Amino acid sequence: MSDGGFVRLPDGSVVVALTLPRPGAPAQAVRVLVHAANRPRALTRLRNFGLPAVYLRGNASPPTPDEISAVLHHPEGVVWRPARTAPPCTGWRPMARLLRPPAEAA
């Protein structure tokens, strides 16, 4: 599962959106948004976070205007949330929250 797409912004940069398996819980999917100078750089940013090799093939599900706003207003320029959210919709989260180990049940 690597559904995604991109949008080129007026300044020449891009916002890439990908739906990926959640690290540590492959049965769950997450929607990841990355703002970068170009598509290869956006994918490199994800690899630098420790995600496995990610590829963008086609433009089947580009980011929506709301998703673009979310990633542009985040200081790191990389955010995620569960791919299939039921109302009420959860907000966008920083990449560090996706990559840290799940909390142990007490």
Q: What is the pLDDT of residues 57-80, one digit of tens each?
A: 888 889 999 999 999 998 889 998
List the domain boundaries for the chain.
3-84
Predicted local confidence at residue 100, as pLDDT: 60
Predicted local confidence at residue 103, as pLDDT: 52
Q: What is the pLDDT of residues 74-91, one digit of tens each?
A: 888 999 888 875 555 567
Q: What is the pLDDT of residues 34-43, one digit of tens each?
A: 999 999 999 9
**What is the rounded CA–CA span in Å between residue 35 and residue 81?**
15
What is the percent of the chain with per-residue pLDDT over 90, rounded to a whole number? Answer: 36
Instruction: Bin 58: left if φ > 0, else alpha if -120 < ψ < 50, else beta.
Output: left
Nearest one of 67, 106, 83, 102 to 31, comparing CA atoms = 83
Task: Tell me: pLDDT of 6 over 50.
Answer: yes
**What is the rounded CA–CA span in Å between residue 41 and residue 56?**
12
Predicted local confidence at residue 23, as pLDDT: 76
DSSP lists the bridge partners of residue 34 as 16, 78
